[in-house]
Structure 1
Amino acid sequence: MSTNPKTPNQPSPHPESLGDINLKTKLDGDNYPLWVNLMERAIGGKGLTSHITGVSDPPPITDPTYPTWQQRNHCCFNWIINNIEATLVNEVSQYKATKDLWEGLATTYGSGADPFQVSNLHRQTYGMKQRGMTLEALWQKFQDLWLSIDSRDPNPMDTPSSIEKYNQITQRHIVYQFLWALDDRYDTIKREILNKEPLSSVRTTYGMVR
């Protein structure tokens, strides 16, 4: 028997059979690089990557497999919408196909380096305070911000030596940001880390604090 997914006699799966996707991180406008990576993997895990990348075109509306394609397209669309902050949904819900929605999000939140967004992200990193938050939660928040900054404000250098020097300076500032955010009970380990020369990487710093 043919296993071709376009076989007319193949029953269309109910949307419920595909399950839900609930990311811990919803798209909020500033965390697109992290969010898109998680979302793409989640949809790929359902076997429906083609609905966001457009690898396969939708069948003609008269094709017997069109209802199955449409059903899966609606599932992907809803998964994405359900993992976007409510304040952003109205801006993107007008798209009809999942691929259009996916590309619209990339255009709106993933392309270019809006100076205001970049400055706001830097402001958030320098203003971050632990205030009783778990160390793991604080680290995750910083990871999200640093990833977003890196995607919008990449290393501008063009030679190996200048790139390396820029990265070292950036790493030093990131370590400072993380240590400044920690509660006072970490003061001893903070002093120990800051007195090390050369200064440890941010991952090593996190490991030492843990």
Structure 2
Amino acid sequence: MSVTVYDGKMNDTFKDLKFSVTLNGNNFLLWKRTTLNVLGGRKLTKHIESTYEELKAIDESMVEETWKQYDLNVLSALHCSLDTSILEGYSYCETAKELWDTLTSVFGNETNLTRVYGIKKALGSLNQEESDFNTHFGKYRSLVAELEMLRPFTTDAKVLRERREQDRVFGLLLSLNSSYTDVIQHILRDEK
């Protein structure tokens, strides 16, 4: 599909606009990173960063109808990048920015202890089994990269103490049997 860009010229901004990762609720950071790459490469991030009114204040020549056309295309593409179970809950969002902000609020808690715990659990149970080394290493590296995004390097003594305490709690929780799953989830939700 070709659409008219803001300056009136034709281009292929939305042709084959697809995202390589489907948001399933457990992979927000990967989804966000790959989605930003696709949108940024087509100069469409303004649709998830700003409203029409905010941009109109900066650029008075912006045409609302064209903005809405672009925004609906970005919104539609974002919808296509969501797992069906997530799409059903968030299809009410009317703009790309509203959907982006809502998903970020729900899934993008970068201090999400539940996700840190899940990654540490996955790392602890990761086995090569029948996969080749490159596949195994790719899974390992992906988990480590996500953990590094959730817990970036710091020299802040307070943050380091908090992480050390969290790791002690994770160690205990990881040693519990599956009958404690609900208790573990409750602890992780309440943990600061």
1:28 aligned counterpart, secondary structure: coil
Please give the alpha-carbon distance, in whole angstroms, between the structure 1 residues aligned to 2:34 and 2:62. 33
Shift of 1:125: 1.8
Write the deviation string for residues 41-88 of structure 1: whole angstroms up to 9, x where unpaired: 1011122111011175366xxx99333211211111122222222222
Indicate conservation of the 8 Å contact 1:118/1:152, yes or no.
Answer: yes
Indicate conservation of the 8 Å contact 1:26/1:83, yes or no.
Answer: yes
Q: Which runs of 4+ in 1 moved over 6 A?
A: none
Shift of 1:34: 2.1
CA shift in 2, pair 1:148/1:54, >3 Å: same
Please give the alpha-carbon distance, in whole angstroms, between the structure 2 residues aligned to 1:33 and 1:64. 32
| Identity score, percent | 18
> 1:18 maps to which residue?
14
Gaps of 5+ in 2: 168-192
Indicate conservation of the 8 Å contact 1:30/1:121, yes or no.
Answer: no
Q: Which moved more, 1:129-138 or 1:116-125?
A: 129-138
CA shift in 2, pair 1:49/1:74, >3 Å: same
CA shift in 2, pair 1:47/1:155, >3 Å: closer
TM-score by length of 2: 0.63
2:24 aligned counterpart, secondary structure: coil
Aligned length in residues: 153
CA shift in 2, pair 1:56/1:134, >3 Å: farther
Indicate conservation of the 8 Å contact 2:79/2:87, yes or no.
Answer: yes
> 1:51 maps to which residue?
47
Q: How does 1:148-159 map to 2 (within 5 A)?
A: 148-154=146-152, 157-158=155-156
Please give the alpha-carbon distance, in whole angstroms, between the structure 1 residues aligned to 2:116 and 2:62. 48
Please give the alpha-carbon distance, in whole angstroms, between the structure 2 residues aligned to 1:75 and 1:106. 20
Indicate conservation of the 8 Å contact 1:73/1:98, yes or no.
Answer: yes
> 1:79 maps to which residue?
77
> 1:99 maps to which residue?
97
Please give the alpha-carbon distance, in whole angstroms, between the structure 2 residues aligned to 1:129 and 1:21. 36
Matched, 1:5 2:3: no
Gaps of 5+ in 1: 171-210
Please give the alpha-carbon distance, in whole angstroms, between the structure 2 residues aligned to 1:30 and 1:71. 31
Q: How does 1:181-200 map to 2 (within 5 A)?
A: none
Q: Out of 95, 114, 125, which is 1:116 matched to?
A: 114
Q: CA RMSD in A?
A: 3.5
Matched, 1:42 2:44: no
Shift of 1:105: 1.4
Indicate conservation of the 8 Å contact 1:112/1:152, yes or no.
Answer: yes
Please give the alpha-carbon distance, in whole angstroms, between the structure 2 residues aligned to 1:132 and 1:154. 32
| Larger Rg belongs to | 1
User: Which amino acid in 1 is paired with 2:96?
Assistant: T
> 2:124 maps to which residue?
126
Indicate conservation of the 8 Å contact 1:33/1:147, yes or no.
Answer: no
CA shift in 2, pair 1:44/1:64, >3 Å: closer
